[in-house]
Amino acid sequence: MPQAVDATPLSAERADAIATSFSRQGLMTTFGAALTRVMRGEVEIAMPWSEGVTQQHGFFHGGAVGALADSACGYAALSIVGDGEAGLTAEYKINLLSPAQGERLVAVGRVLKPGRTLIVAQGDVYSETAGVRKAVATMLMTLCVVRTLDHV
């Protein structure tokens, strides 16, 4: 099994650049999601429960679960690439482990294998109620390292 990148603190400048990039994500804004932890190789994003992110049975929609994991993995990748680079999702596989219900969802994205052109990341999503987490999904993702115009 590949060893994840050791999560260590980022420079304030890099953490701010990631927060600025995250604030430009319309979907995460629509979801009410927020960055709750940003480290080198590991990012956590939380999203509160709301009617707007549910399916017909009142659970968090699988699409919302997947989008949260996708963003967490993407920002974990962004935390390790060079200036002027980003990691764009090339593919992912998600396993929905149990119905996602609770006060909020928390996605933790971790870089498993950094690379010059490809990055492999894992995203684990938890439902949370009263501070107790339950695993609801896990994602394995490949990201392609690309040059960007805006440096994040």
- Supply the pLDDT for residue 4: 76
Per-domain residue ranges of the chain: 12-147
- Domain 12-147, CATH 3.30.70.100 — does that match? no
- Supply the pLDDT for residue 141: 98
Q: How many residues does the chain have?
A: 152
- Supply the pLDDT for residue 152: 54
Exposure on the CB side of residue 75, measured as CA atoms within 13 A = 32
Q: What is the pTM of this model?
A: 0.93
Q: What is the DSSP string of 104-121?
A: EEEEEEEEEE--SSEEEE
- Supply the pLDDT for residue 148: 85
Q: Please enumerate, as own/partner, the contacts of 50-59 that have beta carbons within 8 Å and a separation of 24 or more.
A: 57/99, 58/101, 59/99, 59/100, 59/101
Residues 6+ apart with CB under 8 A from 108: 42, 43, 44, 72, 123, 124, 125, 126
Q: State pLDDT tens for residues 118-136.
A: 999 999 999 999 999 999 9
Sites in the chain below the pLDDT cut of 70: 1-3, 150-152
- Supply the pLDDT for residue 3: 63
Q: State pLDDT tens for residues 20-39.
A: 999 999 999 999 999 999 99
Burial of 32 (0-12, 13-18, 19+ CB in 10 A): middle
